[in-house]
Amino acid sequence: MNAKISVIVPVFNEEENIAELLKRLGKALGGRDYELIFVNDGSRDATLPLLIDEKNSDDRITIVDLSRNFGHQAAMMTGFNYATGEYVILMDGDLQDPPEVLPELIDKIDSEGLDVVSAVRKKRKENLLLRFCYFLFYRLYKKAAYINVPLDSGDFCIMRKVVADQLTNLPESKKFIRGLRSWVGYKQGIFEYERGERFAGEPKYRLRTLIYLALDGLTSFSYLPLRMITSMGFIVFSLGLFFALYTFLNRLFNPRIVEGYTTIEISILVLGGLQLLAIGIIGEYIAKIFDETKKRPISIVRKVYR
């Protein structure tokens, strides 16, 4: 296949991985027409200077330097604006997405006439807690989402330029890529691979960040949390009616009984907790609406090195 390949790699403080990443990308894509688009997401180490040095000796590298750290999803979406290839690949810069599988990804989308191929992780190398959290999230997400999303697929994927353009043209400012690429439709496929360990440096996704990302994904493609509130309200209302009937009959047939405060305290705590939970869930949706009304760009580009 002679079609041009655009590889978008967001990087944030990845100075220890740049040289190895470029070496392995060069080997994997050797003999193909390709470009590498690195989106520097506000790195505070030597990531940008190292990329500029590599750029001076390889004109296939484009560096998009953002004015600050806008986040992984925003950095990837920014990279779409500079991709010129017929196929666009999204991958991380820590080498957990192994460059060696890129030829297989390219061959799959080309030979099977697909528009999107999502890379599905067969094995993970993170600690037990993170593996469990990922396992739980993807199954909850698939169950709750109103779109068909492949299990255990992250942002690592390949898509045709027409799909990338559709994602870029979507008006929302906070974009959850792994959900949107399924939402746009087209011919979808999956490719299984074994996710590697981080080559060097510290993981950028902490547990708190992953929780926020999970909430963003759930509230972007599922109404289930809101419907759970409705269900909980109905259940609590039904229990309230049952308890009221029980109290009335108890008083009717045993007027001397002295009721304690335990039931009242439990009721207040349970109802108060449910109300706070409901307010929090509604608040997540309102926050997304609030963000969208501002119409801010997903990122600000300080400089582009072509």
Local confidence band at 89 (pLDDT 50, 70, 90 cut-offs): very high
10-16 mean pLDDT: 88
pTM of the model: 0.69
H/E element, 301: strand 301-305
Q: Which of 53, 49, 52, 58 is nearest to 29 (CA)?
A: 58
Q: Is residue 214 part of a domain?
A: no
Q: What is the domain range of residue 67?
A: 5-204+296-305
- Measured in whole angstroms, the distance separating CA 126 from the mean position of its chain's CA atoms is 17
Judged by average pLDDT, the poorest of 48-52, 81-85, 110-114, 260-264 is: 260-264
Local confidence band at 124 (pLDDT 50, 70, 90 cut-offs): low
Looking at the structure, tell me whether residues 124 and 241 fall in a common domain.
no
Q: Is the model more confident about 127 or about 109?
A: 109
What pLDDT shows up at residue 293? 76
Helix (H, G, I), strand (E, B) or coil at 226: helix
What pLDDT shows up at residue 192? 81
Looking at the structure, tell me whether residues 138 and 269 fall in a common domain.
no
Q: Which of 189, 192, 198 is nearest to 122 (CA)?
A: 192
Looking at the structure, tell me whether residues 27 and 133 fall in a common domain.
yes
How many folded domains does the chain comprise? 2
Non-local CB neighbours of 265 within 8 Å, separated by 6+ positions: none
Tell me the C-alpha to C-alpha distance, in Å, between residue 148 and each of 29, 94, 124, 218, 285: 31, 28, 23, 13, 21
Tell me the C-alpha to C-alpha distance, in Å, between residue 260 and each of 257, 266, 297: 10, 11, 58
Q: Is residue 77 part of a domain?
A: yes
Judged by average pLDDT, the poorest of 75-89, 194-208, 241-255 is: 194-208
Task: Examine the pLDDT at 66 and tell me if it is beyond 90.
Answer: yes
Tell me the C-alpha distance between 235 and 306, whole Å. 60
Task: Examine the pLDDT at 207 and tell me if it is beyond 80.
Answer: no
What pLDDT shows up at residue 240? 65
Q: Is residue 81 part of a domain?
A: yes
Local confidence band at 188 (pLDDT 50, 70, 90 cut-offs): confident
Looking at the structure, tell me whether residues 46 and 181 fall in a common domain.
yes
Task: Examine the pLDDT at 203 and tell me if it is beyond 90.
Answer: no
285-297 mean pLDDT: 74
Looking at the structure, tell me whether residues 119 and 188 fall in a common domain.
yes
134-155 mean pLDDT: 68
Q: Which of 177, 53, 63, 160 is nearest to 113 (CA)?
A: 160
What pLDDT shows up at residue 63? 93
Q: Is the model more confident about 134 or about 55?
A: 55
Looking at the structure, tell me whether residues 184 and 77 fall in a common domain.
yes
For residue 137, the 8-state DSSP code is H
Q: Is residue 218 part of a domain?
A: no
Computed over every residue of the chain, the mean pLDDT equals 78
Q: Is the model more confident about 163 or about 184?
A: 163
Q: Is residue 219 part of a domain?
A: no
Q: Is residue 211 part of a domain?
A: no
Task: Examine the pLDDT at 148 and tell me if it is beyond 90.
Answer: no
What pLDDT shows up at residue 255? 61
